[in-house]
Amino acid sequence: MRRRSCACQESTGSVAERETGCADSGAADDARDDAVDVAGRLRLPPVLDCRRVRSRAARAGVAVAALAIAVAAGGCDAGPPPPTPPIVPGSSAAPREVNIVMKDWVFLPDPVDIVPGETVLLHVINGGLEIHEAVIGDQAVQDAWEAAEGQAANPPPGPTPIVSVPPGTAGIRIVAASGQRIDVVWTVPADPAVVGALVLGCHIPGHWARGMRASLRIASSRG
């Protein structure tokens, strides 16, 4: 008997058998040996190695299948989001409406597409459970609000301290409670270099550290 050290042939794990060589595939007299194997298997030592390999092969098969599905679907983390089609920039007379949804620790969408010089009507919606804010500004603005609000965290009993930042570092700040929507008209700077440095961030204490930020992307315009 050539297969008495392995019990793979009893089961449906034929792929593992072929891969591991547990089954002797070339023997013409195996039919007779099989009968002896089946009859005598209980007398053999445990065949854990073969079963373990089969289990591994099964897991590998699941992983390969999952990868194939992810590839077919384009993947959830398949790199940067696709570019948006050219958009019609807003004007002061007809601002372009832009939704920014704040959730617990993220902004949606990310990035937010804007056109330098256009006027937008921001609908800032807090879809999370905690209070959030949308601060639009460059890194100096983000740093200023992070420092200011960090100092105001866990205030002593009494009136809530007013949070402020040095002149020139305020940027745009929109604070919304859970479930609240606030609309703000904003004219985007005309200089693409300035727009390219803008960041969207939340500085309610601890939120920036949790990664609550998004980028603003210059979109191509039509019209």
Positions touching Cu ion (CB under 5 A) are 132, 202, 204, 207, 212
- Cis before 46 (ω within 30): no
Q: Which is nearer to Cu ion, 51 or 103 (CB)?
A: 103
Say whether 53 sits in a helix, a strand or coil: helix
Q: Which is nearer to Cu ion, 168 or 211 (CB)?
A: 211
Q: Which helix (H) or strand (E) holds 151?
A: helix 139-151
Smallest gap, in angstroms, from Cβ of residue 177 to Cu ion? 11
Q: Which is nearer to Cu ion, 94 or 209 (CB)?
A: 209
Q: Which is nearer to Cu ion, 84 or 178 (CB)?
A: 178
Please name the residues in contact with 204: beta carbons below 8 A apart, sequence gap of 6 or more: 130, 131, 132, 133, 149
Cβ atoms < 10 Å from Cβ of 130 = 16
Say whether 103 sits in a helix, a strand or coil: strand
Smallest gap, in angstroms, from Cβ of residue 170 to Cu ion? 18
Smallest gap, in angstroms, from Cβ of residue 141 to Cu ion? 16
Q: How far apart are CA 100 and CA 119, in angstroms?
A: 15
Please name the residues in contact with 222: beta carbons below 8 A apart, sequence gap of 6 or more: 86, 87, 88
Q: How far apart are CA 143 and CA 138, in angstroms?
A: 9
Q: Which is nearer to Cu ion, 131 or 197 (CB)?
A: 131
In angstroms, the Cα distances linking 114 to 34, 198, 214 are 72, 11, 13
Smallest gap, in angstroms, from Cβ of residue 131 to Cu ion? 7
Smallest gap, in angstroms, from Cβ of residue 186 to Cu ion? 19
Q: Which is nearer to Cu ion, 122 or 202 (CB)?
A: 202
Smallest gap, in angstroms, from Cβ of residue 136 to Cu ion? 14
